[in-house]
Amino acid sequence: MPTAEELRIWRDYIETAEALRSELSSRLQRESSLSPGDYAVLLALSEAPEQRMRSSELAAHIKWERSRLSHHLGRMERRELIRRDECATDSRGAEVVLTPTGSDAFRSASLPHLRAVRELFVDALTAEQLVAAGKVAATLREHLGPPPYA
């Protein structure tokens, strides 16, 4: 069982992470009309070769279950942020492709989003604290191992 102090630290961590996520999400939605999920998909596609990925690869890349991604992609497709093409090498699969509309939306959202990350996270910490936070995150990620849906 965790001690009272360990539980206090855990709660501080969880509550702070949720407050940061909530504020970043609110700003992203308000400034760009993109959800954090939209942004994650658009970021992955913008970095992919030819701005396209197999949907299974995209799900693993952003650490989402395939069913969650499929529903989300449907909403993004209706907004013309992405399109789904048949996979040239496997007729059972689909490739998710970044559209010009999606590319424009991602570019427009990135600068305000990165400013918010700097303001809310980076600027709040000293250089030493930022390094320590990175080490804590890496240690926790390694301890957890790969996600079951990767």
CA pair distance 46, 38, nearest whole angstrom: 12
Class of the 4-144 domain? mainly alpha
What's this model's pTM, rounded to 2 decimal places?
0.85
Q: Give pLDDT tens digits for 39-64.
A: 999 999 999 999 999 998 999 999 99
Three-class SS state of 134:
helix
Domain locations in the chain? 4-144
Three-class SS state of 99:
coil
Q: What is the pLDDT of residue 148?
A: 62
- 63 sits in the region (left: phi over 0; alpha: psi -120 to 50; else beta) called left
**Contacts of 145-148 spanning 24+ positions with Cβ under 8 A:** 147/63
CA 7, 20, 127: angle at the middle one, nearest 5? 85
pLDDT band at 146, cuts 50/70/90? confident
Q: What is the pLDDT of residue 48?
A: 96
Structure tokens at 142: 């390694």
Q: What is the pLDDT of residue 145?
A: 87
CA pair distance 119, 124, nearest whole angstrom: 7
